Structure formats: structure tokens, C-alpha cells
Amino acid sequence: MKILFTDNLRDELQERLRQPLPGWQAQQRMATKMHRDSRHRIPPDALHAGVLILLYSGAGQELAFPLIRRPQYDGAHSGQIAFPGGKVELEDQTIVNTALRETKEEIGVSVDSAQVVGQLSDLYIPVSRFVVTPVVAFAKTPPTYQPEPAEVAEVLDMSVQAFFNPDNQSTRQISARGVSLQAPAYLINKEVIWGATAMILAEFFEILQEINE
């Protein structure tokens, strides 16, 4: 399915995000057993984070967005593909502020709150004990990146259209922190996108498909 970056899409997406969201019904399509088992066991002391889906006009005006590759480190998300974003800090008045601040810090892209069109459903990540809120925004121009090396090994530009190709969806054997598991995944340009990132995208793509029917 080809989705173009247009003002009309922006308006339709903003309106749709004000309505009830698909939530778990869509997220579960890309969920591992770990995510399914922990869905109703969110600890009261869970931390909170905001991530950003930054939409822009890619090649041929196709809808595109950046993902990042985390550096290799001794942590839960070492080397994984993710959205720019991070944990809520005391200075953040809202989760939107968190997502925009972290995006600026991680990939060097400034996004104004006026560019934000809404939020997706919260998602709990058991391995890091974070409740993540995805924020959706439209970039005025294709972004230029200045990644922070300590937090971002690489910025990956992704075309939305590629994710709708059934050949780019599979189940992979994943090894994470010494644990081996079966994970639904998107396979884009030889990148394996799974876990919370894939679950967030599953909900986002269901909404896009609904708008474009």
C-alpha cells in the first residue's frame, strides 16, 4: 500500500488519533510471549517514557520516518532498533515534551509541539520496566540528523510502504540478554525490527490502513 505525505493525511491522522485507538488488539500482532504474559502485570513503580514517530516526505513523496539503532552496551536494549525517545525527566511537563526533548538530544532534530498530531496507545516493556507513550508528529521538511554517539549508533530512514509488503514480515529467533525467544518481526533492508518498536508500528499501521481504505 502506497501512502503519500500530504496535508490531507496529516488532518485525517490528527482526527483519527482523537478517537478510540486499536491498542492491544493491534499491538499483539507483533508481541512476543513475554509481552503477552506481562500485559496485565505492570508494576506500580514502572517508569515512563515518550518516543516519537516523526513522519516526513521521503522519496517520491512517500511517507517515511526515522528509527535509530542503539549502541552496543550492557543494557536491556543494546543494539536494538527503536524510535528516538527516552524516559520522563522532572523538567518535562507532558509526555509530548519528553518525546520532543529526547528526539532533539538523540538525533539532533527539533520538533515543535505544533507539529504533533496525537499519541498512540501506551505500551509496557517488561525487560526495562517502562511504560512507553508513542507521540506522532509531522516534519515540515525531511530531517537532517546529528546523532548523539553515546545514545545512537545509526539513524535509519524507513519508508512506510515497505512495512505493508507481506514478504517483509516474519517470525525470527531472537537472543536478548541471554534469553532466546520467538518474535514476530518486520524485516526491512536487512534490519530486524521486533519487540516494542514492532508493536507500536503495528498499531500505527492499522490506523494508517483504516484512513486509506
Q: How confident is the model at residue 82 (pLDDT cuts 50, 70, 90)?
A: very high
pTM for the full model? 0.95
Lowest mean pLDDT among 52-61, 77-86, 98-107, 113-122: 77-86
* Ordered domains of the chain (ranges, CATH): 7-206 (3.90.79.10)
Q: Is the pLDDT of residue 149 over 60?
A: yes
| ∠ CA 147-185-121, rounded to 5° | 75
Lowest mean pLDDT among 85-89, 147-151, 176-180: 176-180
Q: Tell me what pLDDT residue 176 has.
A: 63
What share of the chain in percent tops pLDDT 70? 95
Rounded to the nearest integer, the mean pLDDT of the chain is: 93
Whole-angstrom distance, CA of residue 109 vs CA of residue 83 = 13
CA distances from 44 to 29, 59, 86, 153 (A): 26, 44, 19, 32
Lowest mean pLDDT among 90-99, 137-146, 180-189, 198-207: 180-189
- Predicted confidence (pLDDT) per residue in 3-14, tens digit: 999 999 999 999
Averaged pLDDT for residues 31-50: 91
Lowest mean pLDDT among 29-38, 60-69, 167-176, 202-211: 167-176
- 79: cell is 543494539
Whole-angstrom distance, CA of residue 187 vs CA of residue 160 = 13
Q: Tell me what pLDDT residue 105 has.
A: 98
Strand pairing category for 123-125 and 116-119? unpaired
- Predicted confidence (pLDDT) per residue in 44-79, tens digit: 999 999 999 999 999 999 999 999 999 876 655 567
Whole-angstrom distance, CA of residue 86 vs CA of residue 52 = 9
Exposure string over 159-192, b if 16+ CB within 10 A, otherwise e:
bbbebbeeeebeeeebebeeeeeebbbbbbeeeb
